[in-house]
Amino acid sequence: MEGHLFTCQGRYAMPLRTVEISFPSEVLDALAATYQDNADVIKEAAVLELYREGRISAGKAADILEMDRFEFIRYAGKKGIPYIRMSPDELENEIAMLEKSA
């Protein structure tokens, strides 16, 4: 694997590594039928999953995908990944605290 430095939107340099992944040809054919660049689609899916799991921040995900942070937050939301993640109990507690302070 070869290392490179990557500067995204002038924020900071991130070390990059190249990985090789093997997929069944039918998966790559399905991707090619819909998307221009398989590597970008796979990179995006990995970043979205890391963000969904809470392993990287919205800002870090945006940097990796070369998006503005708010653009990424909107995009993730369209993919079904909410920016604000609260359980029903946490939401109920937040509402109760807001009602007390009002």
pLDDT digits (tens, 9 = 90+) for 63-97: 999 999 999 999 999 999 998 887 888 888 889 98
Looking at residue 68, its amino acid is D
pLDDT tens-digit profile of 9-39? 445 567 878 888 888 888 888 877 777 787 8
Whether 77 and 61 have beta carbons less than 8 Å apart is answered as: no
Please check the confidence at residue 51 and state whether its pLDDT lies above 50.
Answer: yes
42 vs 62: CA distance, rounded Å: 15
Beta carbons within 10 angstroms of residue 99's beta carbon: 8
CA distances in angstroms from 12 to 57, 63, 86, listed in the order given: 15, 9, 31
